[in-house]
Amino acid sequence: MMNKQFAVFGVGKFGESVAVELQRLGCEVIAVDKDMERVEHIADSVSYAMQADFGDPDFIHSLGTRNLDGVVIAESVNLEASIMATVICKEIGVPYVVVKTKNERHAEILKKIGADAVISPEKEIGIKLARNLMKASFADWIALSPDYSIAESEVPKAWIGKSLKELDIRKKYGVIVVGIKWNSQVEVNPDPDEKLKKDMILILVGANSDLRKIG
């Protein structure tokens, strides 16, 4: 069985990580970038590394991309180059073209001209982090630094029936309420006028010394 073959166009941090991981998984990888330093940096980690402008149709044709299982266009700075590379790759029969993009408008354009998948790594990482935060027990795992943490706390008796605005927690206690757990739900960026209830759990961010004073 032949190894799968991929080309990665643009080997900045994101493109490099994709190319190196594909190679590690047993694929044959061609890494392409205009920056010779990037090419030299990744050369020993992939099957082939070359300096070229992936927005040039002649280059893409010369690469023999029709023999590839997929192309990852991992550079989102130059939309025109991404469009050109996507169109040419699909024209000559590349079965799967994935394109990195930096905003929704560019994503829509790239989908319309034939990209099989459009990704925004920063957005997807942000969404994944938010979902993990919603699921997690903060006290279990988040120490932001040796002196600064996110922690959970029951509502102190003196705070029950009062709103976050009334309590002015940031000014008086030096911590920030970033969420409230209640009835199996997590409310991020809670309403400052909402009255705190006994069975709520506060999600707090602050210096460890300040967090220890809450309760």
Domain at 78, CATH number: 3.40.50.720
User: For residues 95 and 69, is the Cβ–Cβ distance under 8 A?
Assistant: yes
The answer to whether residue 144 sits within a structural domain is: yes
131 in a domain, yes or no? no
146-167 average pLDDT score? 86
Cα distances (Å, whole numbers) of residue 169 to 21, 103, 163, 176, 177: 46, 36, 10, 7, 8
Note the Cα 53 to chain centre separation in Å.
26
Of 101, 125, 149, at which residue does a domain stop?
Answer: 125
Least confident range of 35-49, 98-112, 175-189: 175-189
Q: Is the dihedral of CA 207, 210, 211, 212 positive or negative?
A: positive
- What is the share, in percent, of the chain residues with pLDDT greater than 70? 87
User: What tokens does 55 get?
Assistant: 């927005």
Place 19 in a pLDDT band, splitting at 50, 70 and 90: very high
For residues 89 and 9, state if they share a domain.
yes
Number of separate domains in the chain: 2
pLDDT tens digits along 161-180: 999 999 998 888 888 888 88
Residue 182, domain CATH: 3.30.70.1450
Beta strand 143-145 pairing with 148-154: antiparallel
Q: What's the Rg (C-alpha) of the chain? A: 25
Sign of the CA dihedral running 196, 198, 200, 205? positive
In a domain, 188, yes or no: yes
Q: What is the mean pLDDT of residues 56-76?
A: 86
pTM: 0.61
Structural domain boundaries enclosing 191 = 136-211
On whether residue 74 sits in a domain, the answer given is yes
Residues 120 and 169 in one domain: no
